[in-house]
Amino acid sequence: MSVLVGKKAPLFNAEAVINGGEFVENFSLEQYLGKKHVVFYFYPLDFTFVCPTEILAFQEKMPEFEKRNVAVVACSIDSKFSHWAWLNTELKDGGIKGVKYPIVSDLSKSIAENYGVLAGNYEYNEEGEMVFVGAPVAYRGLFLIDKNGIVRHQVVNDLPLGRSIDEAIRMVDALQYFEENGEVCPANWKKGEAALKATHEGVADYLGKK
């Protein structure tokens, strides 16, 4: 699994569903360069169990992301048609109707592979046949990408473990605070709290005020 922090986020052009039901043929994160920070996250499969809780939780927090000028984009290895069907299924029936942010289709699994979150890989068996070892889906990877297209934060959970959307927002706040003020954010920092200068004196001053 790769660590992409500090590197350019892998670019792609892929099919996606936006605004809860519109098909897009060539969706790309390039549209956000120079304009928005991006939270790009992977989930394993449509019509599952943990996944809708995360997808709906991101939608619930969209006002928080929007006021921070952050685009949220999801991705799984399902087809655009599967995404569309799930987006048009009522919540009471296990659907995610009401979700408006883009959901990318990664049928080839190449996006998940490039981001280092594919939960398995192709190998040859003793008969010389190609087989997939592991799960042919994406781990729950999340990547915070700045306006220059650089990954500044990533977290990858195993398939059964749902993510904290509040933590994703906290990391956006920390990155934006650093970008605006040049001060670094200590452990458990939250928006509105004091940060510190990246010097020994700055750390001592910060700890002395606690």
> What does the DSSP 8-state code read for residue 32?
G
Band (pLDDT 50/70/90 cuts) for residue 87 is very high
Q: Given 3-state DSSP classes, what are the helix, strand and coil percentages for the chain, each rounded to the nearest 5?
A: 30, 30, 40
Helix (H, G, I), strand (E, B) or coil at 139: coil
Percentage of residues in the chain having pLDDT higher than 70: 94
Tell me the mean pLDDT in the region 144-172.
97
Catalytic residue among 16, 45, 51, 145: 51
Domain with CATH 3.40.30.10 in the chain: 14-159
Q: How would CATH label the architecture of 14-159?
A: 3-Layer(aba) Sandwich (3.40)
Band (pLDDT 50/70/90 cuts) for residue 204 is low
pLDDT for 85 beyond 70: yes
Q: For the chain, how far is it from start to end, CA to CA, in angstroms?
A: 38
- Give CA–CA dist 92/72, Å, rounded: 24
pLDDT for 58 beyond 90: yes
Q: What is the mean pLDDT of the chain?
A: 94
**117, two tokens:** 């979150």
Q: What is the CB neighbour count within 10 angstroms for residue 167? A: 12
Percentage of residues in the chain having pLDDT higher than 90: 86
Q: How many CA atoms lie within 13 A of 98 on its CB side?
A: 16
Band (pLDDT 50/70/90 cuts) for residue 194 is confident
pLDDT for 98 beyond 90: yes
pLDDT digits (tens, 9 = 90+) for 106-115: 999 999 999 9
Counting DSSP H helices and E strands in the chain, the numbers are: 6, 9
Please answer whether residues 3 and 18 qualify as being in contact, where contact means their C-beta atoms are separated by less than 8 angstroms: no
51 flagged as catalytic: yes
pLDDT digits (tens, 9 = 90+) for 6-52: 999 999 999 999 999 999 999 999 999 999 999 999 999 999 999 99
pLDDT digits (tens, 9 = 90+) for 119-153: 998 899 999 999 989 999 999 999 999 999 999 99
Hey, what's the torsion of the CAs at 109, 111, 117, 120, to 10 degrees? 20
Q: Give the model's pLDDT for residue 122.
A: 86
